[in-house]
């Protein structure tokens, strides 16, 4: 069976792809794999005498369009014929390539055909090295860290081949660069060139990929060339920081199973153990560029704008030999901000640029990145998959840049199928936002991510730091939200499952240190499993998540971790209403809350929710109760299959009757303990029967038919 890449490598691939926006074959210019940049580009096919026809490269079409932009009076269209276009250098678009007078420049597929831009180069000329190991001599200047065979990412030589090793102990004076491995864990390799350690340092929150400097066999000490994000074993967290996981890759002697490769960092020679007998029949590609296309404005006042890419396939881009969250392609960043903001499709200082109905996969870093200034951009109807880091990244200016730098906003990320994220970076997300606001993240299908489905972060400060000055403005605990640009976002009608599969202390949807008035509404969050322990939530309102609204969500089968709950709520003035929260055998509470690290957790509202506990877990678990933790709790249906309804952490007792007396009897005056009468909970049909007590309390039925991808999602992306 041919893979997507194999189909793209044929000259023309006719597919069922008939979008209303793309039915016409009329265009200003055409590009084809058999075109010629000396032609006019005005014809979709070469003429009979082969004296005129389409261009051969997108860059040539771009230059032709650029000359006409100053006088454009309508949208300009470049149609790209089916086939595979290998990209050796990033194709860069700037303000001079932008649409004018309300019109757009549109780069789109030719009707019924599938153009594929490949950020890599075919590798041929293999010779057999031993029984199932092949080699090929390449230019040493061509450095890469990935290999793709028939469209599938291969594994750099890895030890062990599966799962992880466990660090025995830290090295006190070199806590971020050295660790001691257990006796017998690491073979006595002779050649460590290219060796890297993939380490979960400190916690299972952020992965680190760092080259190995040396291995001391006597002391069993591995020394890295640079520091991890945090101490490899974080002594401050005691037992919670032990059992640090790691593996080693990039060592030639670990090249022992089919699908693994090793590149000699000195000679450039590449070794590969193929997964099929005939290597000659395989299409083997190594990446050449980090970004296939980039749209970069001069600055926020002179952005690139009004450019659309539609119906085009993008595949294969470069990664790096070192990845640490707070240092990378975009310099150094504080805690929680990605320093590696690269994307296969990269936008910086960009307005009203659209990426629609495209297939974006096999990325080194993120699939699509909108960085620094970016407004009114649209990521719609795409298939985004097999990404090294995030699927979509929106990364604006953090609070340190000041109030005036609220520049990343009003973007739409909608109707995208995003899956198998974090293939190279274990803390990847389907969609990640940093200092970005007023966005719509809606109708996405997200699954198979080692950490987040959707994550949004900002910046927080300890109370003792107030007041301080940013850009001439005195910042206090009362006005700090003016600096937190991750605000007024809508996360709605998304379906998320099989996430948080290799990390802990995170949710399907996670927020931390964000601005006000973010809404999580009508999402279907279900089914995650993992062997790793720790915290696991569906919705995580982490520290300094304030004034958030969580409504009309259905949550079930959250089972990843040892401390599991549908919702974990910190912050202030957060509202949870009209949600269906279904526990599992591993559930420890329906909603947990805590005030930690000197931050507040108070004035929560719980209204018209349905709790359906299949074990005897408490409904609420208040890790450190305060009288103002909850200001309203009523009109709720509580159902516990085993035991009684309990509220853990409330002084004086955990019974439901005691809870109703807390704070002068202000809680649950109208709530009931009863079966909510779902249509078929065993089949996860959580529609309510007409006689449901929840309906009598004002619960509004949740229509799941509107959740997930929309009807116009392209049929060519088979699910």
Instruction: Please count the helices (runs of H) and the strands (runs of E) in the chain.
Output: 4, 67
Q: What are phi and psi of 369, to 5 degrees?
A: -125, 130
pLDDT given for residue 20 in this prediction: 39
Per-residue 3-state assignment (H helix, E strand, C coil) for 10-29: CCCCECCCCCHHHCCCCCCE
Lowest-confidence region among 99-113, 464-478, 544-558: 464-478
Q: Which of 578, 569, 645, 640 is nearest to 609 (CA)?
A: 578
Q: What is the pLDDT of residues 363-390, one digit of tens each?
A: 999 999 999 999 999 999 999 999 999 9
Poorest-pLDDT segment among 400-404, 439-443, 465-469, 642-646: 465-469
- Note the pLDDT of residue 22: 47
Query: Once rounded to an integer, what is the mean pLDDT over residues 263-270?
Result: 98
Q: pLDDT digit string (tens) for 304-345?
A: 999 999 999 999 999 999 999 999 999 999 989 999 999 999
> Coil, strand, or helix at residue 657?
helix
Q: What is the mean pLDDT of the chain?
A: 94
For residues 164 and 178, the answer to whether their CB atoms sit within 8 Å is: no
Return all residues near 234 (Cβ < 8 A) that are at least 6 apart.
201, 202, 203, 241
Give the integer Cα–Cα distance in Å for 109 and 13: 11
Tell me the torsion sign for CA atoms 38, 39, 41, 45.
negative
d(CA 598, CA 584): 32
pLDDT of residue 274: 95
Average pLDDT over residues 66-86: 97
Torsion, Cα of 705, 708, 710, 711 (10° steps): -60
Least confident of 22-26, 145-149, 158-162, 224-228: 22-26
Burial 122-158, CB ≥16 within 10 A → b, else e: ebeebeeeeeebbbbebeeeeebbbbbbbbebbbbbb
Question: What is the pLDDT at residue 25?
Answer: 85
Predicted TM-score (pTM) of the model is 0.95
Q: Could you give the CA distance from residue 363 to residue 381 in angstroms, rounded to a whole number?
A: 18
- pLDDT for the residue numbered 581: 98
pLDDT of amino acid 18: 41
- Is the pLDDT score of 111 beyond 90? yes
Question: Is residue 13 predicted with pLDDT exceeding 70?
Answer: no
Rounded to an integer, the average pLDDT of 265-287 is 94
pLDDT > 70 in the chain, percent: 96
Confidence of residue 238 (pLDDT cuts 50, 70, 90): low
Structure tokens at 284: 């083997």
Give the residue with greater pLDDT, 24 vs 195: 195
Nearest residue to 119 (alpha-carbon basis) of 92, 143, 84, 155: 84
Q: What is the pLDDT of residue 594?
A: 96
Tokens of 480: 């700090």
Task: Find the mean pLDDT for residues 512-538.
Answer: 96
Average the pLDDT over each of 139-143, 229-233, 274-278, 559-563 and give the range with the smallest value: 274-278
CA distance 359 to 680: 37
Cβ-contact 526, 556 below 8 angstroms: yes
Residue 2, pLDDT score: 39
CA 645-498-583 angle, 5° bins? 5
Q: How confident is the model over 456-484, as pLDDT tens digits?
A: 999 888 777 888 898 889 989 889 999 99
| Residue-level pLDDT at 423 | 98
pLDDT of residue 513: 95
Residue 7 confidence (pLDDT) above 60 = no
The single-letter DSSP state of residue 684 is T
Residue 113's nearest CA partner among 24, 44, 204, 12 is 12
State yes or no: pLDDT of 12 exceeds 60: no
Percentage of the chain exceeding pLDDT 90: 90
Mean pLDDT is lowest, of 37-41, 379-383, 528-532, 568-572, for 528-532
Q: Using the predicted structure, report yes or no on whether residue 218 has a pLDDT greater than 90.
A: yes
d(CA 108, CA 114): 10
pLDDT digits over 489-510, tens only?
A: 999 999 999 999 999 999 999 9
94 has a pLDDT exceeding 90: yes
* pLDDT recorded at residue 14: 33
Residue 173: left if φ>0, alpha if ψ -120 to 50, beta else—which one? Answer: alpha
pLDDT bracket for residue 237 (50, 70, 90):
low
């Amino acid at each position: 069976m041919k893979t997507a890449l194999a189909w793209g490598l044929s000259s023309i691939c006719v597919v069922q792809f008939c979008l209303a926006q793309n039915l016409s074959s009329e265009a200003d210019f055409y590009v084809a794999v058999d075109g010629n940049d000396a032609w006019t580009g005005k014809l979709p096919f070469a003429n009979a005498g082969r004296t005129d026809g389409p261009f051969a490269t997108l860059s040539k079409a771009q230059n032709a369009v650029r000359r006409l932009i100053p006088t454009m009076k309508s949208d300009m269209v470049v149609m790209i014929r089916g086939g595979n276009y290998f990209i050796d250098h990033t194709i860069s678009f700037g303000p001079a390539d932008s649409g004018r007078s309300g019109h757009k420049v549109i780069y789109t597929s030719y009707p019924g055909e599938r153009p594929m831009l490949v950020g890599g180069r075919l590798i041929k000329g293999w010779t057999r090295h031993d029984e199932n190991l092949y080699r090929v001599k390449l230019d040493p200047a061509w450095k890469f860290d990935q290999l793709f065979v028939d469209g599938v990412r291969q594994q750099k030589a890895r030890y062990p081949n599966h799962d992880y090793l466990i660090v025995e102990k830290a090295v006190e004076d070199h806590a971020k660069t050295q660790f001691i491995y257990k006796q017998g864990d690491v073979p006595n390799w002779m050649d460590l060139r290219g060796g890297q350690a993939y380490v979960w340092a400190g916690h299972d929150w952020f992965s680190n990929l760092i080259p190995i400097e040396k291995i001391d066999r006597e002391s069993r000490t591995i020394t890295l060339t640079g520091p991890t994000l945090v101490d490899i074993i974080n002594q401050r967290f005691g037992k919670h920081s032990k059992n640090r996981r790691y593996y080693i890759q990039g060592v030639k002697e670990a090249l022992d199973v089919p699908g693994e490769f090793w590149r000699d960092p000195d000679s450039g020679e590449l070794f590969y153990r193929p997964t099929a007998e005939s290597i000659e029949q395989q299409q083997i590609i190594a990446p050449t560029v980090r970004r296939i296309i980039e749209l970069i404005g001069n600055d926020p006042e002179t952005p690139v704008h009004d450019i659309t890419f539609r119906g085009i396939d993008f595949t294969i881009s470069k990664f790096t030999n070192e990845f640490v969250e707070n240092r990378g392609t975009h310099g150094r960043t504080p805690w929680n901000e990605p320093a590696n903001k690269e994307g296969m499709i990269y936008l910086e200082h960009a307005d009203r640029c659209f990426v629609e109905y495209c297939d974006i996969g096999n990325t080194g870093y993120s699939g699509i990145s909108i960085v620094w200034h970016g407004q009114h951009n649209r990521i719609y109807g795409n298939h985004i998959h097999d990404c090294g880091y995030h699927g979509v990244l929106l990364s604006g200016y953090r609070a340190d840049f000041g109030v005036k730098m609220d520049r990343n906003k009003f973007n739409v990320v909608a109707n995208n199928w995003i899956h198998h994220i974090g293939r190279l970076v274990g803390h990847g997300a389907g969609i990640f936002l940093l200092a970005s606001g007023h966005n719509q993240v809606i109708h996405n299908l997200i699954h198979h991510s080692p950490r987040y489905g959707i994550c949004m972060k900002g910046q927080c400060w300890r109370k003792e730091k107030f007041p301080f000055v940013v850009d001439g403005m005195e910042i206090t605990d009362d006005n700090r939200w003016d600096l937190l640009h991750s605000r007024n976002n809508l996360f709605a009608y998304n379906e998320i499952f099989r996430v948080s599969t290799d990390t802990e202390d995170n949710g399907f949807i996670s927020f931390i240190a964000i601005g006000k008035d973010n809404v999580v509404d009508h999402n279907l969050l279900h089914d995650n499993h993992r062997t790793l322990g720790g915290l696991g939530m569906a919705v995580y309102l982490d520290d300094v998540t304030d004034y958030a609204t969580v409504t009309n969500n259905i949550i079930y089968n959250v089972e990843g971790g040892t401390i599991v709950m549908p919702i974990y709520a910190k912050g202030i003035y957060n509202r949870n209403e009209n949600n269906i929260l279904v526990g599992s055998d591993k559930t420890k509470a329906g909603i947990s809350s805590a005030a930690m690290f000197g931050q507040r957790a108070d004035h929560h509202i719980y209204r018209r929710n349905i709790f359906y506990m299949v074990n005897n877990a408490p409904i609420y678990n208040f890790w450190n109760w305060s009288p103002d933790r909850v200001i309203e709790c009523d009109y709720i249906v509580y159902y516990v299959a085993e035991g009684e309804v309990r509220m853990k952490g409330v002084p004086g007792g955990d019974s439901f009757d005691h809870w109703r007396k807390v704070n002068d009897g202000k809680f649950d005056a109208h709530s009931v303990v009863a079966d909510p009468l779902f249509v078929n909970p065993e089949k996860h049909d959580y529609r309510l029967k007409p006689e449901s007590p929840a309906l009598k309390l004002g619960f509004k039925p949740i229509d799941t038919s509107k959740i997930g991808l929309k009807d116009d999602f392209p049929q060519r992306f088979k699910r």
